[in-house]
Amino acid sequence: MPVSAKKRASKQHTRGKKTSKGGSTRIASAKKSPRYIDNMNPATMKLINRLPVCTEADVENAVAAARSAYSSWSSLPPEDRADALDRLREQLVKDMQEMIDTICEETGKTEMDGLVEIFTVCEHLKYVASRGPQLLADEKRSTGIFIHKKAYITYQSRGVIGVISPWNYPLILTLSPIMQGLMAGNTVVVKPSEITPNTSLKLREIATRSGLPENVLKVVTGFGETGAALVASKGTDMICFTGSTATGRRIGEICGRMLKPVILELGGKDPMIICADANLDRAVNGAIWGSFSNSGQTCISVERIFVEESVYEEFMQKIREKARGIKQGLRENHPSVGSMTFEKQVGIVKTHLADAEKKGARIELCGDRPPGLAGLFLNPLIVTNVQSDMQIMQEESFGPLVAIMKFRDEDHAVELANNTVYGLNASVWSCDLDKAKRIARRIHSGSICINDVDVNYIVSDLPFGGTKESGIGRVYGPEGLRAFTNPQSVTVDRAGIFGITKEIHWFPYTERKLNILKKTVRWLFG
C-alpha cells in the first residue's frame, strides 16, 4: 500500500475490537449489563435514544404473553393469518419513509439500501401470504400397497418462536422469520440486536397500526443476556438466529441440550468465479455492487473473487476504473455507500487488512468520500496479491473490501472457492451456461447464482440457508415456511368401515398367516 494510502486508512478509524458478523448478541455470562441501551447513529455518532435492557423476568413475561395469544392465533384459518400479513405489508408500504428513516438513522445505510430492505420484505410478505395457505394445507402421500388406507401430512404450528436478529439488515432479517412464524400459526418474541433496536420497535408499531394483535408479536430489547434468556426459556418452542458462527454454535449447543428446534443463518465468505468467456462488464458491475453495497455488511456479500488468468488483467483494469467512481457519504447526499454500522466490526476489517498487508497483499483504496465525516466510514477496498492462508481469504470480513485472485482452470477455481469453512452463497460467471452449471454443482454452498449476484435471496420460492459453518436449516420457500411447523404424519384405515375387524399381521400368529405373508413378499418384491 502506498504511504499516502496507509495514512488515509489509519485515520479512518482508531477504535474497534474484534467481534463477530451480524448479530452482536453474546450467549454467555458476562458483567452485569447497564440498564439502558444508548442507540447511536453510526454515520454521525450522535445519540438517537436510550432504550431499556430487558431482564430475564421481562423476557419470561413477553414469552408468557405470546403464549396467551397462541391458542387464538393458531386456531385461525391460514387464510385469515394470510390476510393479516397482507394488511401488514400494505401498512408497511404506507409508512415506508418512516421505516426507511428509522433503518438509516441507526445503521448509517444509504437511502437506497434502506429501500432495498422494504422491497425485499414486501416481496417475501406477498409470497408467504399468497402461497402460505396452500403450502400449509394437508398434503396427500402414497400408501404403497395399502390401497385400503389413506395417508397425508398435516403441518402443525410449533408454539412460541424466539427470533434473535442482527444489525446489518435489521428489517429483512427480523421480519422474515417473523412472517413465516406467524403464517405457520406461531406467535413470536423477537430480540433485536442492541445496535439496531429501533427498527424492530418501529415494526411492532406499524404492525399494531395494521391490526396485528399485540401479543402475537412481542419485542424485547437488550444485550446478550436478554438473548440468552430467550434461547434458554422453557416457554420458547423454537429459536431462529441470524448472526455470527461463534454465537450460533453456542445457541445450537443450548438448544441441543433442550432438544429445541433451531434455525441458524450464520457467516459466509462467498466466492465469485469469473470465467474467461464471461460478460466482463456485467461481472465487474456485479462484483462492485455485491462487494460494497451496504458497506459490505451482508452475509452473502462477495468477499472473494476468482478470475481466470487469461482475463485477469482486463478485469482488474475495468474494476479499478468503476470502483473509483463509488460515492460515499451521508444518506441525504444520495451516495452509493454509507457508513459501517458497528464500531467493533471496523476493527475486524482493519485486522484482516493488517494481516494481508503483512503477508504481501496490495491494498487499494477506492471511491470518492468527502472529508470531515464523523462516523464509521471506511473506503471501499480492493485487495490483490492475496494468498489462501490470509485472514482476508478465510475469515468473514463483513466490510467494504474484496480480495481478488487468479485461477488456472475449472478444477483450480472450484478448489479455491471451496477452501473455506463457510458455504452460504456463491456465483459463477460464464456465457457458456452448461459450463457455469457444471461448476456451480461443485461449489459447496447453500445457494448459488449464475451470471448474477445475491438475487437468489429475493426469489421467495427458493429456500435460503448455509452448509458447513454457515448454518443449519432453511428459511423462505416451501421448505422455509414448513420449518416453522411440526409435520404430523396421518394414516387412516378405510377397511374397518366395511366391517373388516383385523389385519393379517395382527395376533394371533399362525402358520397359515406366515405362509401367506411369505408368498406375498415373493410376489411383490422378489
CA dist 466 and 273 (Å) reads 18
Could you list the beta-strand ranges (E) of 361-463: 362-365, 381-384, 401-407, 422-423, 427-429, 449-450
3-state secondary structure (DSSP) of residue 51: strand
The partner residues of 427 in beta bridges, in order of sequence, read 272, 449
Residue appearing with cell numbers 432479517: 173
* Residue 160, H or E segment: strand 160-164
Q: Is residue 132 packed enough to be buried (19+ CB in 10 Å), middle (13-18) or exposed (0-12)?
A: buried
How many Å apart are CA 279 and CA 276, to the nearest integer? 9
Measure Cα distances from 121 to 117, 129, 175, 176, 203 in Å. 6, 12, 7, 7, 12
Cα separation values, 226 from 3, 173, 199, Å: 45, 18, 17
Q: How far is CA 477 from CA 128, 263, 425, in A?
A: 8, 15, 16
Dihedral (C-alpha) 163, 168, 169, 173: value to the nearest 10 degrees?
-20
Phi, psi of 250 (to 5 degrees): -65, -40
Contact criterion met (CB below 8 Å) for 91 and 181:
no
Query: Which grid cell sits at 23?
Result: 448479530
Phi, psi (deg, nearest 5) at residue 123: -60, -45
Quote the CA–CA distance of 374 and 343 in Å, as a whole number.
Answer: 12
| End-to-end CA separation in angstroms for the chain | 73
Q: Which of 111, 265, 343, 395 is catalytic?
A: 265
Q: Please check whether residue 191 is in contact with residue 227, taking contact to mean a CB–CB distance below 8 angstroms.
A: yes
Q: Identify the helix (H) or strand (E) that includes residue 98.
A: helix 96-107
Query: Residue 163 is inside which H or E element, if any?
Result: strand 160-164
Asked if 476 and 484 touch (Cβ cutoff 8 Å), the reply is no
Q: Is 299 one of the annotated active-site residues of the chain?
A: yes
Phi, psi of 439, rounded to the nearest 5 degrees: -65, -45
For strand 471-472 and strand 467-468, is the pairing parallel, antiparallel, or unpaired?
A: unpaired
Give 452's DSSP letter.
Answer: S
Contact 400, 383 (CB under 8 A): no
Name the packing angle between helices 56-74 and 224-232 (round to 10°): 50
- Selecting among 104, 299, 366, 449, the annotated active-site residue is 299
C-alpha span between 45 and 15 (Å, rounded): 13
For 176, 183, 475, the CA distances from 216, given in Å and listed in that order, are: 15, 11, 20
- Residue 151 phi/psi, 5-degree rounding, is -135, 140
The verdict on whether 240 is a catalytic residue reads no
Known catalytic residues are 265, 299
